[in-house]
Structure 1
Amino acid sequence: MLFPTPSLSREDNRVLASIDEMRSALQDQVRSLPSRQVQRLRTFLTADAVAASNSIEGFRAATVDVEDLITGERDVEVSEENKKETLALHRMMTYIQTLHDAADFAYSKSFLNALHWILQGHRHQPRKPAGQWRRGPVYVTDARDASIAAYTAPDADAVPALMQELIDWLNTDDATHTLVRAAMAHLHLVSIHPWADGNGRMSRSLQTLMIAREGVLAPEFSSIEAWLGRPGNTWEYYRELARRGPQYLPDQDVASWIHFNLTAYHQQAQTVQGRLARAGKVWETLADFAQHAGLDERTITALHDVAMAGRVRRSRYESAEGLSLQQAQRDLRDLVTAQILTPVGRTRARYYTAGDRFPQTALDISATPMTLTDPYTPTG
């Protein structure tokens, strides 16, 4: 048995309609931007989602480090374990993003197990097999005391039947809004906990996959993994899951879970809109600066990375602008000579930060925080 999808309240429907409006507006904004700006934003949002989803499970890598790793940089100051987890989750998320328009797509046990292998294959061991249902009990321990089981998943013998029920549900269109169905899929999978490890990231990724399959907006603009990874939201996420009880009890009202997810969708859309607006203003400021300083227009890409992420690497700049190694090195060297950038480190691990003559206005715009509103709190 799976959790029944609750009926939406009037407030839920109002918030859901607002989310749809925001996502439609985002779609129009994205279409109007130059392709390289869109690609930079998509890379950042993907890296932010990877960093956040892994952080929930205790694997730490800053978004800027994840950006470097997923764009091919290897000399990043991240532990080997965190590097492996980052690249594994990114591979799975990249695959998920490619499935948005697969015409003959269908959910299956084999498909979900294959996704799990992509995520956990580097950790495969007989007692904790990757890409296979777990063979024994699994517990979610209390965040404050590892000796206490906050949640005990269903018996291993029940997993195959529960997963078949979930697969059947995923392949059946019940006319429920995709964002609501995606939230329910997340809850179903994380509650069944079918694998020995990786269940949280798999559940969040399934939610993202369902959004991708909807086709309205690229999943990196709609995924709530980055939102869930913020410390305060992670705590609320655990608390919301804990409301389901210490054991698998699907015959209950889960309206609060939908409320929680609709808040996440709304605030993540606010965050992306804010990032989009801020990135655009920074780009315009840097374009004006480059023109007055007599810089080649392509260098704006490097300066934009510094303003928005705090640094730029030669390899990232070279790839983004399609430059040769010599061209990228020459541009960055000229920016250093002009005191616009400052080099940090040596040889392959070197990156560049803002120099004394870097336009402060761009840094100020980038550093200006935005305010998120609670969609369920009346305004005016």
Structure 2
Amino acid sequence: MYIHEKENWTNFFWDNDKLSPILASVRHLQGRLLGRMESLGFDFIERATLESLILDVVDTSRIEGEFLNTELVRSSIARKLGIENADFIKTPRNIEGIVDVVLDATQNFDKALSETRLLGWHNSLFQTGFSGYQQIDVAKYRSGGMKVVSGNFGREKVHFEAPSADRVPYEMEQFLNWLNNDTSIDLVLKSIIAHFWFVTIHPFDDGNGRIARAILDMWLAKSDNSKIRFYSLSNQIFKEHKHYNKIIEETQKGTSDITKYLEWFLGCFERALLASEQNLEIILDKAHFWDRHKSTNINERQRLVINYLYDNYSKEVGFLRTSTYAKLTKCSTDTALRDLQDLVAKEMLKAEDSGKKTNYVIISPKKIRIPKINNEKTSAANI
């Protein structure tokens, strides 16, 4: 028996004694990070927000098995936010759509979430009227049943069966009324409850997970009362997506006591904030780097590789070689060598002799080291 089959299923309750300590920790981290961000100045806030939004867009899609080109996502967000020197690159509709949804949720968080707005989000995600090769109802609630399944054909496992289609309009009316009008719950808790409530109704033929996480991000932005983005919960959820799917499934088969679900989600959010605190250093270094070189003329291959190195930052000491550059940018080794030597001449990279081969390392404003890319595993498809 699923939770939505029970009477008054949305009368959720939880154990405050269990949740209060972790909620207090989350709120403290939010305040500390936001305060640090606000002290950085407009240019750095803008760049840090851009990096966090890129993670949100890329990873909310990765959770659903869709892998987007990071550079195209970057270009789309920068252009829509009006960030200076944003390069115009034609981006496909699927990227433009999810970018529009995430930006509307996080940058217009102070506006009510109406049914019309929600249907607009769905239309943005599925502008062709298809999900893959399957035609779906777009910008309208589903007209048929909905099951969440996994496994091969003939051996499917049903994880969840959503409410019948005839119940969806009523359930969504109740959900949106609560979402926009109930002020009795802490906004962080409310964002997490809203996510669960929405995915349990599962009102659309497809896109329910991405829209649920957009609602989550929207109410987290309300909890910050800021358009500044300094963390990506979708990034952390992707790292823990097996636990994420498991806790949702368990809660959908449970009772209206959602303590365990809230406890896990608050922990996930806390881990996202702690990761963001660590990642802020690399984001700031990257911002300083591009600020230092804002007048430096480089080509798209060079920009792509430097961004790739920053985006794949880790604590490992690393370097870049000519062969890796060529593989990443799909150019010849001669072209790669010319590009790299040009970056050295412009003091963006430095060359380090390691015997038979030359390693190229970013000249970091904060003296950090950018990690190496594994030459055997690097694929241009990952860019």
TM-score (norm 1): 0.71
Residue number in structure 2 paired with 1:244: 251
The 5-angstrom pairing of residues 195-344 of structure 1 reads: 195-218=204-227, 220-230=229-239, 233-245=240-252, 251-280=255-284, 305=307, 308-309=310-311, 335=343, 337-338=345-346, 340-341=348-349
Residue number in structure 1 paired with 2:122: 116
Say whether the 8 Å CA contact 1:141–1:147 is kept in structure 2.
yes
Check if 1:48 corresponds to 2:52. Answer: no
Structure 2 CA distance, aligned partners of 1:272 and 1:100? 21
Structure 1 CA distance, aligned partners of 2:306 and 2:277? 18
Identity %: 19
Say whether the 8 Å CA contact 1:49–1:223 is kept in structure 2.
yes
Structure 2 CA distance, aligned partners of 1:171 and 1:208? 15
Q: 1:256-290 CA distances to partner (integer Å, 9 max, x unpaired)? A: 11011101211111111111133345667x69xx9
**Bigger helix share:** 1
Q: SS at 1:356's partner residue?
A: strand
Say whether the 8 Å CA contact 2:296–2:346 is kept in structure 1.
no
Residue number in structure 2 paired with 1:348: none
* Letter of the structure 2 residue corresponding to residue 114 of structure 1: G
* Letter of the structure 2 residue corresponding to residue 157 of structure 1: D
Q: 1:173 to 1:87 in 2, by over 3 A?
A: same
* Letter of the structure 2 residue corresponding to residue 109 of structure 1: E
* Letter of the structure 2 residue corresponding to residue 29 of structure 1: R
Deviation at 1:74, TM superposition (A): 7.2
Check if 1:147 corresponds to 2:151. Answer: no
Structure 2 CA distance, aligned partners of 1:143 and 1:300? 50
Q: 1:34 to 1:334 in 2, by over 3 A?
A: farther
Q: 1:151-210 CA distances to partner (integer Å, 9 max, x unpaired)? A: 111110111111111112112224211011110110011010011111111111111111
Structure 2 CA distance, aligned partners of 1:281 and 1:339? 15
Q: 1:39 to 1:106 in 2, by over 3 A?
A: closer
Structure 2 CA distance, aligned partners of 1:297 and 1:153? 51
Q: 1:219 to 1:161 in 2, by over 3 A?
A: farther
Structure 2 CA distance, aligned partners of 1:162 and 1:283? 45
* Letter of the structure 1 residue corresponding to residue 34 of structure 2: Q
Alignment counterpart, residue 186 of structure 1, candidates 169, 175, 195 = 195
Gaps of 5+ in 2: 1-7, 80-86, 314-338, 351-357, 373-383
Structure 2 CA distance, aligned partners of 1:172 and 1:100? 14
Structure 1 CA distance, aligned partners of 2:104 and 2:287? 30
Structure 1 CA distance, aligned partners of 2:293 and 2:217? 39
Structure 2 CA distance, aligned partners of 1:238 and 1:357? 39
Structure 1 CA distance, aligned partners of 2:58 and 2:9? 30
Deviation at 1:334, TM superposition (A): 5.6
Say whether the 8 Å CA contact 1:278–1:365 is kept in structure 2.
no
Residue number in structure 1 paired with 2:27: 20
Residue number in structure 1 paired with 2:179: 170
Deviates more, 1:65-74 or 1:255-264: 65-74
Say whether the 8 Å CA contact 1:339–1:355 is kept in structure 2.
no
Residue number in structure 2 paired with 1:136: 144
Q: 1:336 to 1:198 in 2, by over 3 A?
A: same
Q: SS at 2:126's partner residue?
A: helix
Q: 1:45-96 CA distances to partner (integer Å, 9 max, x unpaired)? A: 11111111101111112545532454466769xxx9xx43322110111122
Aligned residues: 318
Alignment counterpart, residue 33 of structure 1, candidates 6, 31, 40 = 40
Check if 1:92 corresponds to 2:101. Answer: yes
The 5-angstrom pairing of residues 337-356 of structure 1 reads: 337-338=345-346, 340-341=348-349, 356=360
Structure 1 CA distance, aligned partners of 2:115 and 2:286? 46
Structure 1 CA distance, aligned partners of 2:125 and 2:148? 19
Deviation at 1:144, TM superposition (A): 7.1
Say whether the 8 Å CA contact 2:237–2:268 is kept in structure 1.
yes
Say whether the 8 Å CA contact 1:54–1:85 is kept in structure 2.
no
Structure 2 CA distance, aligned partners of 1:204 and 1:225? 7
Say whether the 8 Å CA contact 1:182–1:206 is kept in structure 2.
yes
Say whether the 8 Å CA contact 1:99–1:212 is kept in structure 2.
no
Q: 1:363 to 1:237 in 2, by over 3 A?
A: farther
Say whether the 8 Å CA contact 1:53–1:226 is kept in structure 2.
yes
Q: 1:4-44 CA distances to partner (integer Å, 9 max, x unpaired)? A: 33234334111111111111111111111132222221111
